[in-house]
Amino acid sequence: DQQVKQNSPSLSVQEGRISILNCDYTNSMFDYFLWYKKYPAEGPTFLISISSIKDKNEDGRFTVFLNKSAKHLSLHIVPSQPGDSAVYFCAATTFSWGKLQFGAGTQVVVTP
Amino acid sequence: DTGVSQDPRHKITKRGQNVTFRCDPISEHNRLYWYRQTLGQGPEFLTYFQNEAQLEKSRLLSDRFSAERPKGSFSTLEIQRTEQGDSAMYLCASTSERGGTDTQYFGPGTRLTVL
């Protein structure tokens, strides 16, 4: 069963604008969430994470928001740059698990 | 380069052959994970090690798959009697042993094509 869902397979955004990527989860046991970025023929690269005790975490141009009641998180990229064009994966886990459950990914294309 | 490395990067084999992949984790990391990614999907957990102990195996890991981490450093993933459905990207990740909150760092992956 798919416990982590990214319902938008693709997103196109203009350079300099905001990219908003969404992720929903079904397992209420999840208490740690991560976003990874993946270029073709490379492994996923860690971007940013958030613990369930927080509702927001920022790192430079990247901000992750967590809404536990809605079981929803989002990644904001501001401003978007051409190098941000990649597939973005949302992942979730529990403090005792370790293994990550991934969504199917969102392909982001940043246009000039 | 102190990141996670995987070898080979690409492997093409014929159905029925055996293949083995290697992963070298970040040196101070005790935990090592294997994932499989197919086209259009996110990575799926296969198995993980803490030091040399294999602590969990996914139901995706059929009896044709075996993984080892003999000295708690590098790991190997072997697939026996490969099938076309085994074609995928096999990813390795490592982290420290403090638990699920630690970020997993991924290697570049091994792309397997079974003809």
Residue-wise pLDDT for A87-110, tens only, equals 999 999 988 778 999 999 999 999
Q: What is the mean pLDDT of chain A?
A: 95
Exposed, middle or buried by CB within 10 Å (0-12, 13-18, 19+), for B85?
A: exposed
Q: What is the mean pLDDT of residues B86-108?
A: 85
Give dist(CA A100, CA B91) in Å, integer: 12
- The predicted-structure confidence for B22-45, as pLDDT tens digits, reads as follows 999 998 889 999 999 999 899 999
Is A22 at the interface with chain B, CB within 8 A? no
Give dist(CA A31, CA A103) in Å, integer: 16
Q: What is the mean pLDDT of residues B61-81?
A: 94
**Residue A92 Cα distances to A32, B21, B97, angstroms:** 6, 26, 18
Q: What is the mean pLDDT of chain B?
A: 92
Taken as a whole, chain A contains a residue count of: 112
pLDDT at position B103 is: 85
Give dist(CA B31, CA B4) in Å, integer: 12
Is A89 at the interface with chain B, CB within 8 A? yes
**Residue B39 Cα distances to A87, B36, B42, angstroms:** 12, 10, 8
pLDDT at position B1 is: 53
Q: Do A102 and B104 touch (CB under 8 A)?
A: no
B18 CA: distance to closest CA in chain A (Å)? 23
